[in-house]
Amino acid sequence: MMTTSRPRITSPDAWVGPQIQHDAGWIARLDEDDVAEIDAALSRVKSGGLRIPFGSSAFPLPSLQARLDGMLDEIENGRGFQLIRGIPRRRYSDEDCELIYWGIASHFGTPVSQNARGHLLGHVRDEGRQIEDPNARAYQTNVRMDFHTDMLPIDVLGLFCLRTAKSGGASKLTSALTVHNVLREERPDLLEALYGLFHLDWRGEEPAGEQPWFSIPMFSESQGKITARICSLVYYESAARFGEQYRPTALQREALLAVQEIANRPELMLTMSFEEGDIQLINNHTMLHAREAYEDHPEPGRQRHLLRMWIAVPDGRRRPLAAALADRYRWVQRGGIPRKAPAAA
């Protein structure tokens, strides 16, 4: 078996499931005083007639600020994720929840556009789309989602749970750095393949002037930091619609499937079921996330509904990225995926 010079990663974000499952430290529970401070900030925003987007100064959380700073440090330099629990969701309208979520998230960085519709606050729900549609995104369906990082190299992915499903839909996390370590031991040849360039489909959301496909490594290193950029398998397979040369090679496909197999090992992953009002925050450079398939309630207005944000951390905290990813980070610096004008009828 070939060997690899890639180092074994020993940082706190290279965790395994049992370590995390029995460590309640990843849940930040809000108490009555915290909620009262959030209520005061919400009242301030509403009385001022502010609408999204607004900055963190418009949603002051002076007592919570130190905890929020600690959470961001944990996301960047600790285990790589955080769950905030305790927002009494039923007390608020959907619109108030959006303001609360935006206000809290703004203390972690700058939200950026996450699709060609220019959404800063996205909606993760079943829109009746089919994953076979080359212009559909998996979050617009109710199907199981592969382990992945989100497409653009944003720093923090945030999800707010407005409503849960009738059944299913649990969130799953696995450290991409742990997957890296396992491949280093079991299949160093596949690990090396993942450091090469893969072609992915923009699925209709490419910025103006860009090709409808792009090429990036799945793992890369810069200044001693390993970064993962793993997408759902459909993004690789559908790139072949632009030419057979963009289809994954047999070795690349084997490597991608190995990532999924390892990430799904029960001893490596963490499964969490959302409660309404939960906020999940993930380091999008080091954590893989997935979702179980789900069934919605049949009654209108009861469907599973998450609010999504892509957050760019302040420049001084930014993770060093290899050239191929740094080139794509320019879209984050410019505000995310540019809004596209609708096609003419």
In this predicted model, what pLDDT tens digit does every residue of 284-297 receive, in sequence order? 999 999 999 988 88
Q: How far is 238 from 103, CA to CA, in rounded Å?
A: 37
Over residues 205-232, mean pLDDT = 92
Q: Which stretches does DSSP call E strand in 125-168?
A: 145-148, 156-163, 167-168
Q: Which helix (H) or strand (E) holds 82?
A: strand 81-85
Confidence of residue 85 (pLDDT cuts 50, 70, 90): very high
Q: What pLDDT is recorded for position 343? A: 47
Q: What is the pLDDT of residues 236-269, one digit of tens each?
A: 999 999 999 999 999 999 999 999 999 999 999 9
- CATH architecture for residues 17-333: 4-Layer Sandwich (3.60)
Angle at 256 between CA 255 and CA 262, to 5 degrees: 85
Confidence of residue 321 (pLDDT cuts 50, 70, 90): very high
The encoded tokens of residue 216 equal 């990036």
Q: What is the pLDDT of residues 167-197, one digit of tens each?
A: 989 999 999 999 999 999 999 999 999 999 9
Q: What is the pLDDT of residues 154-166, one digit of tens each?
A: 999 999 999 999 9
**Domain extents for the chain?**
17-333
Q: What pLDDT is recorded for position 8? A: 96
The encoded tokens of residue 174 equal 């696995």
Q: What pLDDT is recorded for position 44? A: 98
Q: How far is 303 from 126, CA to CA, in rounded Å?
A: 8
Q: Residue 18: which residues within 8 A CB-CB, separation 6 or more?
A: 267
Is 90 exceeded by the pLDDT of residue 208? no
Over residues 207-212, mean pLDDT = 87
Is 60 exceeded by the pLDDT of residue 345? no
**Percent over 90 (pLDDT), the chain:** 74
**Percent over 70 (pLDDT), the chain:** 94
Residue pair 272/83 in contact (Cβ under 8 Å)? The answer is yes
Q: What pLDDT is recorded for position 344? A: 39
The encoded tokens of residue 225 equal 């930091």
Distances (CA, A) of 279 to 74, 87, 117, 300, 306: 15, 9, 23, 24, 9
Confidence of residue 338 (pLDDT cuts 50, 70, 90): confident
Give the Cβ contact number of residue 244 at 10 Å: 7
